[in-house]
Amino acid sequence: MFKSKRIMLKPKYIIAGNWKLNKGPAEAKAFCEALSKHLTSVSLQNIDVVVAPPFISIPGIEAKNFFLSAQDVYWEENGAFTGEVSASMLKEIGVKYCIVGHSERRQLFHETDRTVNLKVAALLKNNIKPIICVGERIEERKAGIMYNVVKFQLSAALFDIQIKNPDELVIAYEPVWAIGTGNVATPQQAEDMHEFIRRLLENHFGAGIGGKIKILYGGSVTPENIAGLIEKEQINGALIGGASLDLDKFISIIKYISEKEI
């Protein structure tokens, strides 16, 4: 529907697990030790594996064969901000990625497009890759305004943001109606939105950078539906919720992707 102006070479995939409010320090450590062991027998040439535990569980994890992500961040470096965690603190404990703008943060904790933008800037300043989440609610899709919604979210998140390398940030398209519901966008629905996001990125950063930024799909991704999604040209990986909490399911998805050609 929204075809990119040039032929895309599919970049290295990213498979990221967002654990949300699950797995305390002991369980997270044991899970990641088992994950690392499994990944030693998986070819990771065409895939980066990312795990996003709760803040409290990150320091006890030794990241081998995968990267650590936080689930949120505050944009100030320090100060009287009770309960918050800064990008420099995340950097100090080895975090390489950070999710921002997730729909649960927007809906439950009043995250705004402006604060997403501030968080993106703070993360980039500390050489942490933002995973910027965008996506429409079911009523917005039914009203046919899903492209307007995503355009506004992404434009606001990237306001005054410039990068020199496409690997500095990641976009995750997560239709709100598919998150944790068991519903999933059809591969073509996802691809249409990813094509649209690609065009927005090329307009903002130029084709050289915007054409290579990774765009992930998130929303009830499972071992059963990953094949249809990942076949699409503009889908460069997945941000996975529930299935990432189950080691066998997470490994199954990773192995499937690792066996694909870029």
Which distant-in-sequence residues (6+ apart) come within 8 Å of 75 by Cβ?
87, 115, 118, 119, 121, 122
Decide: 242 and 220 in contact? Cβ < 8 Å.
yes
Angle between helices 146-157 and 187-205 (to 10 degrees): 40
With tokens 């249809």, the residue in question is: 228
Q: Is 261 a catalytic residue?
A: no
Distance between CA atoms of residues 121 and 130, nearest Å? 9
CA distances from 123 to 128, 132, 207, 240, 241 (A): 5, 11, 23, 21, 22
Q: Is 174 a catalytic residue?
A: yes
The active-site residue, picked from 140, 174, 195, 202, is 174
The active-site residue, picked from 102, 136, 191, 195, is 102
Q: Would you call 82 exposed, middle or buried from its count of C-beta atoms within 10 A (0-12, 13-18, 19+)?
A: exposed
Decide: 225 and 238 in contact? Cβ < 8 Å.
no
Neighbouring C-beta atoms of residue 47, cutoff 10 Å:
23
Active site residues: 102, 174
